[in-house]
């Protein structure tokens, strides 16, 4: 089911999302809806708070650029390691029409559950690393515009 994407300055985007206690059919339905919504908006990632759901769930699909990486839905993702630093251009489905240069870790190790509730560990670099960091930020109420220079960011 296609869901509306909240846009800045909606205050829901600034809330910290709650951990998922049980990965059940409702969470799997949420993940499916999030993929459908993300693809419809031509995005590479989406976090549950962006569709008004205060749960720690993200979806990411960088396969149009990094063809060897499969789409992924992650529940309760946590960055457990960060290495290096690199700047890159980002945009966001919740901040349409705005792009900015954002510093991010060059590579990350993420621990999460998959949509079946099984533990996964993902070592990521490149676009996948950036997308995971961007979406996990959403779970903490952080928008990419919070990480770009004040001169380039829209007023909060």
Asked whether residue 55 is assigned to any structural domain, the reply reads yes
Per the domain annotation, does 6 fall within a domain?
no
Question: Mean pLDDT throughout 66-88?
Answer: 97
Tokens of 145: 């515009």
Distance CA 20, CA 156 (A): 29
pLDDT reading at 156 higher than 60: no
Q: Residue 91: inside a domain, yes or no?
A: yes
Cis peptide before 9 (omega within 30 of 0): yes
Active-site choice (25, 36, 66, 135): 135
Q: Is the pLDDT of residue 146 over 80?
A: yes
Q: What are phi and psi of 125, to 5 degrees?
A: -140, 175
**34 is a domain residue:** yes
Instruction: Tell me whether residue 27 is in a domain.
Output: yes
- Average pLDDT, whole number, for the chain? 95
Cβ–Cβ under 8 Å, residues 30 and 47: no
Its domain, for residue 39, covers 11-146
Q: How far is CA 41 from CA 4, 17, 26, in A?
A: 10, 22, 22
pLDDT of 112 reads 98
**Within a domain: residue 39?**
yes
> In CATH, what number is assigned to the domain containing residue 60?
3.90.45.10
- Residue 13: which residues within 8 A CB-CB, separation 6 or more? 6, 49, 50, 94, 138, 141, 143
DSSP states along the chain? ---PPP-TT-GGGGSPPBPPS---HHHHHHHHHHHHHHHHTT-SEEEGGGGT--BSEEEE--TTTSTTS--EEEEEEEEEEEE--EEEEE--TTSTT--EEEEE-SEEEEEEE-TTS-EEEEEEEHHHHHHHHHHHHHHTT--GGGSS-TTTSPP-
Q: Is residue 154 part of a domain?
A: no
pLDDT per position as a tens digit, 27-55 = 999 999 999 999 999 999 999 999 999 99
- Assess whether 135 carries a catalytic annotation: yes
Q: What is the pLDDT of residue 151?
A: 46
Number of domains in the chain: 1
pTM, two decimals, is 0.94
Establish if 66 belongs to a structural domain.
yes
């Amino acid at each position: 089911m296609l869901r509306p994407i909240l846009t800045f300055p909606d205050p829901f985007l600034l809330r910290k999302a709650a951990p998922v206690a049980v990965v059940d059919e409702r969470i799997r339905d949420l993940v499916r809806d999030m993929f459908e919504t993300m693809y419809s908006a031509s995005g590479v990632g989406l976090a549950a708070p962006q569709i008004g759901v205060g749960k720690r769930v993200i979806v990411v699909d960088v396969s149009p650029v990094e063809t060897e990486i499969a789409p992924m839905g992650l529940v309760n993702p946590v960055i457990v390691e960060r290495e290096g630093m690199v700047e890159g251009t980002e945009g966001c489905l919740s901040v349409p029409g705005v792009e900015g240069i954002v510093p991010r870790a060059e590579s990350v190790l993420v621990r999460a559950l998959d949509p079946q509730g099984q533990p996964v560990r993902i070592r990521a670099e490149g676009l996948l690393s950036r997308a995971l960091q961007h979406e996990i930020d959403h779970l903490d109420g952080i928008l990419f515009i919070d990480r770009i220079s004040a001169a380039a960011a829209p007023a909060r």
